[in-house]
Amino acid sequence: MSAITAEKLAYTYPGVDDAPGVAVFEELDLSVEEGSFVAVLGSNGCGKSTLAKHFNSILLPSGGKVYVWGLDTSDEEKLIQIRKTVGMVFQNPDNQIVANVVEEDVAFAPENLGISSPVIRQRVDTALKLVDMYKYCNHAPHLLSGGQKQRVAIAGVIAMEPKCIVLDEPTAMLDPKGRAEVMETVKRLNREKGITVILITHHMDEAAQAQRVVVLDKGKVALDGTPREVFSQIEKLHSMGLAAPETVELCSKLNACGFDLPLDRLNAEECAQVLCETLKA
């Protein structure tokens, strides 16, 4: 079953005063399967975040429809149900944490949903254990590291028990260690809990870990497929102002010097293996 479907989605940012609005999408079609891990790539200003905000009714389409498990996002009656189903994590963890104690912050969403207090307690504990932050449950958020804060923000969304999580550049402000922590957490949630993950990112190596990569360009889906399929089309990526993972870039540059290497080796080990074989031969 498809989790999220965008049909002929159009969106125009309203203009200020008499200025005309800026059209982001005109006819965008996209469907995300339940339980999948999809990475969305695109250069700055191509509408990645705008698209994400359509998935839980923060923005409503100016044309076309977005369906979340069959629910129309423009249906106001279903608003809470949609937001409960699709959780969202943003770039800056500092601006998403509401309370000044970790566990109180994680409890924020279930409290809003009117769940009884013993159940909230249970959900908060489960969520904190899932992101491996249980031992920090009584800490003040501002004393945590960036990666830890972002994991608290993820726990805050998990506590709603959503079927899908949309992460809008969750690692953009983190150091390499924090990035690894967050990516590990996200992959675990997808693998163990079967939560659908939509990851918007600028890091090609993160996108390479997804099952499917969607590249947006000028408000349209430009490329769509497995990471190997997408990243081997290196010229197209370059023309859209994007890069392929470093290993693919390396192979591509070597090919330009007369080698004949495959362009679908996404991690260092695979790449090294191919290089060794070529050198031996």
Partner 1 sequence: MLKDITLGQYFPGNSVIHRMDPRTKLVGLIIYIVALFTATSWLSYGIMLAFLIVMVALSKIPVKALFKGMKPLIFILIFTGLLNLLFNGGETVLVAFWKITITLEGVIRAFFMVARILMLISATFLMTYTTSPIQLTDGLESLLSPLKKIRVPVHELAMMMCIALRFIPTLIEETDKIISAQKARGADFETGSVLKRVKALVPILVPLFISAFRRADELATAMECRCYQGGEGRTKMKLLRYRRRDYFAYLILLMLLSGVIVAASFGL
Binding residues vs partner 1 (CB under 8 A): 56, 58, 80, 83-84, 87-88, 90, 92, 94-101, 103-104, 107-117, 120-121, 124, 140-142, 153, 156-157, 160
Q: Please, what is the minimum distance in Å from the beta carbon of residue 156 to partner 1?
A: 6
Q: Please, what is the minimum distance in Å from the beta carbon of residue 50 to partner 1?
A: 13
Give the C-alpha separation, 100 to 106, whole Å: 11
Give the C-alpha separation, 84 to 82, whole Å: 5
C-alpha triplet 268, 272, 277: angle, nearest 5°: 155
Instruction: Give me the residues paired with residue 216 across strands.
Output: 221
Q: Please, what is the minimum distance in Å from the beta carbon of residue 26 to partner 1?
A: 25
Q: Which amino acid is at 248?
A: V
The nearer residue to partner 1, 121 or 202, going by C-beta atoms, is 121
The nearer residue to partner 1, 113 or 263, going by C-beta atoms, is 113
DSSP state of 77: G
The nearer residue to partner 1, 49 or 232, going by C-beta atoms, is 49
Q: Please, what is the minimum distance in Å from the beta carbon of residue 134 to partner 1?
A: 15
The nearer residue to partner 1, 143 or 268, going by C-beta atoms, is 143
Sign of CA dihedral 138, 142, 143, 145: positive
Give the C-alpha separation, 120 to 98, whole Å: 17
Q: Please, what is the minimum distance in Å from the beta carbon of residue 25 to partner 1?
A: 19
φ, ψ dihedrals at 95, nearest 5°: -90, 10
Q: Which of 62, 83, 67, 90 is nearest to 201 (CA)?
A: 90
The nearer residue to partner 1, 89 or 251, going by C-beta atoms, is 89
Q: Please, what is the minimum distance in Å from the beta carbon of residue 114 to partner 1?
A: 4
Pairing label, strands 220-225, 212-217: antiparallel
